[in-house]
């Protein structure tokens, strides 16, 4: 009897709505997305930058997606490509391309998701990768 009541309650409940915010096969600069070999490992973090703060130049050897919760940031690649992101903006980060973000309008908070593999770092600074295993020059 309890199961029937639970099933009836579920059938009569309004459905949750899912609003798409991003669907793409490429990064924000038009680059390809490639998944690393190995056992899948998903990581999520909140990235915080204080007003005017820049992250160090770095790269991501795994697909990296973000969603801006607060503030405005400028993302720039080492070769000068730039984009501005603000609250509610989704993005797919560039892969293997050296870049950084700078908080340009107050504190910035971005929830970041990495679709990686066990043993593969999510973020690498160029000085940590002199052989170019993770970051392209």
What are 3-49's pLDDT values in tens digits?
555 545 555 667 889 999 999 999 999 999 999 999 999 999 999 99
What are 39-84's pLDDT values in tens digits?
999 999 999 999 999 999 999 999 999 999 999 999 999 999 999 9
CATH number at residue 124: 2.60.120.10
What are 78-128's pLDDT values in tens digits?
999 999 999 999 999 999 999 999 999 999 999 999 999 999 999 999 999
Reported residue count of the chain is 137
Give strand ranges (E) for the chain. 40-49, 64-77, 82-85, 90-92, 99-117
Compute the distance between CA of residue 84 and CA of residue 116 in angstroms, rounded to an integer.
Answer: 25
> What is the predicted pLDDT for the residue at 13?
64
Assigned domain for 63 exists: yes
Owning domain of residue 87: 24-128
pTM of the model: 0.86
Assigned domain for 64 exists: yes
């Amino acid at each position: 009897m309890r199961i029937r009541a639970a099933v009836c309650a579920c059938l009569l409940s309004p459905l949750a709505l899912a609003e798409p915010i991003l669907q793409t096969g490429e990064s924000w600069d038009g680059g390809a997305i490639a998944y690393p070999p190995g056992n899948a490992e998903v990581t999520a973090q909140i990235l915080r930058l204080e007003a005017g703060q820049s992250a160090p130049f770095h790269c991501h050897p795994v697909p990296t997606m973000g969603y801006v919760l607060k503030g405005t940031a400028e993302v720039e690649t080492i070769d000068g490509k730039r984009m501005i992101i603000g609250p509610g903006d989704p993005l797919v980060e560039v892969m293997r391309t050296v870049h950084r973000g700078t908080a340009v309008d107050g504190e910035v908070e971005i929830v970041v998701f990495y679709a990686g593999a066990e043993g593969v770092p999510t973020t690498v600074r160029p000085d940590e990768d002199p052989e170019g295993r993770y970051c392209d020059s």
